[in-house]
Amino acid sequence: MQTFSKIFSITALAASLAFGASSTASAAPKTDFKVAWSIYVGWMPWGYAADHGIVKKWADKYGIKIDVTQFNDYVESMNQYTAGAFDAVTLTNMDGLSIPAAGGVDTTAVIVGDFSNGNDAVILKDKASLADVKGQNVNLVQYSVSHYLLARALESINLSERDVKVVNTSDADMVAAYKTAEVSAVVTWNPLVSTILEEPSAKKVFDSSQVPGEIIDLMAGNSAVLKDNPNFGKALAGIWYETAALMTADSNEGKAAREAMGSASGTDLKGFESQMAATKLFAKPADAVSFTASPSLPKTMNLVRNFLFEKGLLGNGAASADVIGIEMPDGKILGDANNVKLRFTETYMKAAADGAL
């Protein structure tokens, strides 16, 4: 099965830096909008909504048109958004900071859709304790959420990346790599995790449920576009919550939706529901509002920005993790208040929660 990953890369960062300057100008009111998404359990509702008339329904309500495009390459979707070719894109909290925000594109998290709650994992071969990772080569997608998860796992047992050797490995090659004699440790995400754990030698020793709420999946939009076109944000919220309610419904319609999303992502109903079980999905807007407004989000983003700074992913010449400002829903800012490029807001989710869409 081909897997499309949640990755950020030096190449993508360079592209975002090149495009950033042209993407921060004030946007004008408009009626046609473009949304990019890529395959991941928490983002499958966007493709389903486009295929089943839900996108059109909400766009029509606000007198606008929304074109939803699936990308087979996640990094490319972010590059295209950063270049200004799309008004909104699915990405993680980490990638939102390292690519469009670091590239100068002021970006707002319209919807906090879910967080990984076991979908990402550290797996050892024939070893059952995380401490056994010490001294090993660890195969993972460098500078990805897997790299971040490894860092957090090592911290939990008072080790650091100096105690292992990271081996950059494509997600497309991860399963095959694990089966070779040379590979003894991997960090990856579902559905690759499930596939690798089918091997008798594979032992999961740490996963994202042990750092809950840190790997967050978003629908994010260009802040200037949203400011000038608030109905676009409202339509996105309407689309998401209608589809998420269907996705999680204990009904024949809900089962059919999950089956369709599973098939579209290269798995079956059982496989898709297994991935859903390892995802904290915010199908109800009130839950998303509570999570976004909680004190845990600034703590998470502080961890993330420091990780990115240490890896040199906050832009050339960044003197500290404070180089980019990150605005929280209460208006407080992490980092440079004069360079806010990533924003978290309750606005659209709260409108959904209040029945105001």
Q: Do 6 and 114 meet the contact criterion of CB atoms below 8 Å apart?
A: no
Write out pLDDT tens, residues 26-66: 556 799 999 999 988 999 999 999 999 999 999 999 999 99
- Residue 5 inside a domain? The answer is no
Residue 257 to residue 269: CA distance in whole angstroms: 9
- Residue 41 inside a domain? The answer is yes
Q: Indicate if the alpha-carbon torsion angle 314, 76, 59, 64 is positive or negative.
A: positive
- Residue 4 inside a domain? The answer is no
- Residue 15 inside a domain? The answer is yes
pLDDT at 27: 58
Residues 295, 184, single domain; the answer is no
Rg of the chain, C-alpha, whole Å: 20
Residues 192, 319, single domain; the answer is no
Q: Indicate if the alpha-carbon torsion angle 344, 350, 353, 357 is positive or negative.
A: negative
Residues 197, 243, single domain; the answer is no
Query: Looking at 175, 210, 245, which one is the last position of a domain?
Result: 210
The CATH number linked to 37 is 3.40.190.10
Residue 15 pLDDT level (bands cut at 50, 70, 90):
very low
Write out pLDDT tens, residues 74-85: 889 999 999 999
Residues 103, 163, single domain; the answer is no
Residues 152, 61, single domain; the answer is no
Instruction: State how far the alpha carbon of 299 is from the alpha carbons of 60, 155, 304, 306, 357, in Å.
Output: 39, 16, 9, 11, 30
Residues 41, 83, single domain; the answer is yes
Checking if the pLDDT of 90 tops 60, the result is: yes
Nearest in space to 230 (alpha carbons), one of 136, 124, 351: 351
- Residue 273 inside a domain? The answer is yes
The predicted model gives 335-343 an average pLDDT of 98
pLDDT at 12: 42
Query: Which pair of structure tokens corresponds to residue 241?
Result: 């919550």
Residues 234, 318, single domain; the answer is yes
Write out pLDDT tens, residues 181-236: 999 999 998 888 988 999 999 999 999 999 999 999 999 999 999 999 999 999 99
Who wins on pLDDT, 9 or 340?
Answer: 340
- Residue 3 inside a domain? The answer is no
Query: Looking at 160, 177, 210, which one is the last position of a domain?
Result: 210
Query: Which pair of structure tokens corresponds to residue 126?
Result: 């024939």
Checking if the pLDDT of 348 tops 50, the result is: yes
Query: Which pair of structure tokens corresponds to residue 352?
Result: 């959904």
Q: Which of 100-104, 260-264, 314-318 has the lowest mean pLDDT?
A: 314-318
Query: Which pair of structure tokens corresponds to residue 323?
Result: 């180089």
Residue 6 to residue 18: CA distance in whole angstroms: 21
Residues 345, 238, single domain; the answer is yes
Say if residue 100 is preceded by a cis peptide, omega within 30 of 0: no
Q: Do 103 and 85 meet the contact criterion of CB atoms below 8 Å apart?
A: no
The number of folded domains in the chain is 2
The predicted model gives 13-37 an average pLDDT of 63
pLDDT at 26: 56
Who wins on pLDDT, 139 or 170?
Answer: 139
Residue 217 to residue 240: CA distance in whole angstroms: 13
Nearest in space to 88 (alpha carbons), one of 43, 57, 56: 43
Residues 222, 314, single domain; the answer is yes
Q: Residue 152 belongs to what domain range?
A: 120-210
pTM listed for this prediction: 0.87
Residues 112, 124, single domain; the answer is no
- Residue 25 inside a domain? The answer is yes
Percent of residues in the chain assigned helix, strand, coil, to nearest 5: 45, 20, 35
Query: Looking at 210, 233, 263, which one is the last position of a domain?
Result: 210
Residues 177, 252, single domain; the answer is no
In the chain, what percentage of residues exceed pLDDT 70? 92
- Residue 29 inside a domain? The answer is yes
Residues 201, 159, single domain; the answer is yes
